Amino acid sequence: MTPKTAESSKTTLTDLVLPSETNPLNNLFGGELLARMDRAASISARRHSRRIVVTASVNHVAFNRAVPLGSVVTVEAKVSRAFKSSMEIFIDVWIEDRESGERTKANEAIYTFVAVDETGRPVKVPELLPETDLEKERYAAALRRKQLSLVLAGKMKPQDATELKALFE
Ligand SMILES: CC(C)(COP(=O)(O)OP(=O)(O)OC[C@H]1O[C@@H](n2cnc3c(N)ncnc32)[C@H](O)[C@@H]1OP(=O)(O)O)[C@@H](O)C(=O)NCCC(=O)NCCS
């Protein structure tokens, strides 16, 4: 399988925050943002693998800034590393100032998707070729995040998480 760049999986979703999507403080519901991120990440994983993809885990979410009613929110997703059948997707969330148009980073998240066949069985995906410094940084740290996720899910023994253990040695 020919390796693919991160850029070729880049997916950008831009949408408004409507009243039905906010909490009593008039900020975007966390669950609504999770859903938007899941959609963008799913398209990104599909672009990389050209297969059916399913969300395997949400590895990290940081709601650093509230997103007010009426904001223009851009969710940008890219595959940060591909393994055998799984892909780590990095999602950056930006809000746009109405007057200046300047974008501010509001949140970020990391999801894992798995490519599957029509019966739901995992299938192989192409390797990912990181190009920019940020893509290389995210690629390098992805293996330890995968090991942490598998340990937390009870799918890997902590002693087998070699890359993760190396952080503490
Ligand atoms: C995701 C799913 C396909 C994994 O199936 P599985 O039987 O665990 O298959 P495997 O053990 O072969 O794992 C497949 C890949 O997923 C990875 N994986 C599984 N669980 C993971 C987790 N919690 N975190 C990170 N990666 C995970 C494995 O490491 C493996 O990656 P690799 O092939 O790149 O090495 C299966 O659990 C599933 O279909 N889940 C439901 C998905 C879904 O419906 N999502 C929407 C939620 S409503």
Cβ(29) to ligand 1 under 6 A? no
Ligand 1: residue whose CA is nearest its atom 17: 86
Cβ(86) to ligand 1 under 6 A? yes
Cβ(146) to ligand 1 under 6 A? yes
- Spacing, Cα 92 to ligand 1 middle (Å): 23
The conformation of residue 22, written as its DSSP 8-state character, comes to B
90 Cβ partners below 8 Å, 6+ apart?
77, 78, 79, 80, 108, 109, 110, 138
Cβ(155) to ligand 1 under 6 A? yes
- Spacing, Cα 41 to ligand 1 middle (Å): 15
- Spacing, Cα 143 to ligand 1 middle (Å): 15
132 Cβ partners below 8 Å, 6+ apart?
6
Cβ(116) to ligand 1 under 6 A? yes
Report the Cα 79 to chain-centroid distance in Å. Answer: 7
β-bridge mates for residue 116, sequence order: 52, 122
Instruction: Say if CB 10 and CB 77 are below 8 A apart.
Output: yes
- Spacing, Cα 113 to ligand 1 middle (Å): 7
Q: Architecture of 4-130 per CATH?
A: Roll (3.10)
Domain spans, the chain: 4-130
Per-residue pLDDT of the chain (169 residues; tens, 9 = 90+): 999 999 999 999 999 999 999 999 999 999 999 999 999 999 999 999 999 999 999 999 988 999 999 999 999 999 999 999 999 999 999 999 888 999 999 999 999 999 999 999 999 999 999 999 999 999 999 999 999 999 999 999 999 999 988 888 7
Q: Cα separation of 67 and 70, whole Å?
A: 9
Q: What is the pLDDT of residue 133?
A: 98
